[in-house]
A and B are shown apart, each in its own frame.
Chain A
Amino acid sequence: MEKYNLRGQEGRVERLIDDLQTSPSRMYDTDSIKYNFDNCECPGCPCCDPDMKWLWPVGAGVLAATTPILVAATAAEIAGK
């Protein structure tokens, strides 16, 4: 745990973190899926990923929109409204 101002929560939070990390319910992602924060600039979106700069299309989108359609369609449904 990084140094964090726990404002009097130290013992309780440390026990919780220990429980979270050892809980049988924890889902263990594979090592190759995890990213190393220190060596990674950003998990990234296609429009600024340096590897994609030449081949991912540039400029698509503004005339229409910025909202992925599935979100617009399902937000209310998920929220159970």
Chain B
Amino acid sequence: MKLEGLFQGKNSVLYSSESESVLYEKLSNTIHRGRRDGLNGLQKRIEEVDYKPIFETSSLKRLQDDPLSILFLEITEQCNFGCSYCIYSENYPNERTETSKNMSFDTAKKAVEGLIPLSKNNVMIGFYGGEPLLNMGLIRQIMNYSKEKFPDKEFGFSMTTNFFNADRYIQEIVDNGMYINLSLDGPKEIHDECRRTKNGKPTYDKIMSNLKKVEEYSPGYVDSHIFILSTCDNPADIPRIIDFFDQNRYFVTHINSPDPKGRVNLEKRIPLEGSGINLSKEFIRRILNGEDPKILRRLFDQDLKSVAVRDGRVMPQELMLSGSCYPGKKRIFVDVNGDYHPCERFGHRLNIGSVEEGVQQNLVDDTIESFAKIRSDLCGECWAQRICSPCLQHAKDPEGEFSLEGLSQTCEGKKSQLLIALENYTKLFQSDTQKTENYIKSINPLFERRLI
């Protein structure tokens, strides 16, 4: 997708697309469409205004009494795969390396005893790794212990896994109703290029065989309990990945690219070229035809929502720190050593307590304040300030914890993503307001799964 005459200012962005131009400005958080010459003049006046709102933390701190929803336990640091793009591989020298370390049952018990009382009636325990299926014995112990220790709680269990060894535990997985977050990159040739065992063997066939066994044991389970994460290391593969998932029934939640931060040995990637605009056109076509965009939702939905559902205030001095959760509240990640972190996506960065000392509120507060300051300092002169919602993990610093420099590395990509969303939204809205409105309201995985 190429936008003609793109001009990105500190308060606005202007571009031309087909027959008209589009201007988005953050002063009144509004989109304008029309002739280029008229919008040029408007943009000039907008850019003369000095407007740098800051991010406040009180809205986020209102959530400090929220119950814990998800407790992640890093069951093991071991993995049976040697994926080329893994952040624990030698390509990421600043991340932890893979070890044979497992979480002890004593540490897991302390985490459960200390944190489950912070939840309400329902709580999810997520098993994380490394590859959690390499330590199924501990998972079994934790599930039993949790239910025994807290009989009044309703537990859900999930696991983030490569599913390679799942054939040994299918009955146990299904009988415990475990939700599975499964890494499957796409068709066999793409998946097997990166996702291989430590010995270099391909893994696609075994994983598909395991999915089949799950379905034979419990028809419908794959549909209801298995979520797919696809990682695409080569942009040129996107169309084939989209085709693959479009044609099967797996529920894909993410299509990501490997983390460029801190990565060495970056190989040259083949660009997507014209395919991006075709995918965007197809996404719009499906919505306007009343079809479900299916897998294309994963590429466009979230940003479309950010652009469409906007705060209508005019030039507020303070903005909500949207996009960030309250660290250590709704979710906590406990590593193999028993240290607490805000999120599994943040790895071992940012210690906010431990099984011995509990959640350290002062560290949580410091984190929120620091992140708000980073955003205020970095985003004040960016046109996307009011429609961009990064979370703490986006500010990950490859060599430290989190920083302004870390967040700034995501800016160009994010602005491009929001431009795509702006273009999609204006095109949709112009074509059919009612269908667009209905679609925006449907951007929710629960709708997708017909659960609400």
Please give the residue numbers on chain A whose beta carbons come within 8 Å of chain B beta carbons, in ascending order. Answer: 1-7, 9, 12-13, 16-17, 19-21, 23-27, 29-30, 32-37, 41-80
Contacts and interface: CB of A to CB of B under 8 A. Distances in A.
Nearest to B345: A62
Interface in B300-324: 300, 302, 305-306, 308-317, 320, 322-323
Given A27-B426, A45-B389, A59-B158, A3 B70 contact: no
B417 A62 contact: no
Interface string B246-278: 000000011111111000000000011100100
Contacts of A74: 1, 272, 276, 416, 420
Contacts, number: 282
A64 B256 contact: yes
Contacts of B179: 57-58
Contacts of A56: 253, 445
B72 interface: yes
Interface in B350-385: none
Contact of B70 (A58, A69, A72): A58
A48 to B, nearest CB: 4
B122 interface: yes
B272 A34 contact: no
A45 B437 contact: no
B174 interface: no
Q: Contact residue range for chain B?
A: 35 or more
A63 B347 CA distance: 9
Nearest to B440: A33
Contacts of B345: 61-62, 66
Contacts of B257: 64-65, 67-69, 71-73
A60 B181 contact: yes
Give the 7 A-B residue pairs with the shortest CB-CB distance, closest first: A73-B235, A57-B227, A25-B34, A64-B231, A48-B325, A73-B272, A25-B32
B256 A68 contact: yes
Given A4-B316, A54-B124, A75-B412, 8 more contacts: A30-B437, A32-B441, A35-B309, A60-B254, A66-B396, A71-B414, A71-B417, A75-B416
Interface string B433-452: 10001001100111001011
Most buried by A among B253, B410, B416: B416
A51 B158 contact: no
A22 B39 CA distance: 14
Nearest to B235: A73
A2 B32 contact: no
Most buried by B among A9, A56, A58, A59: A59
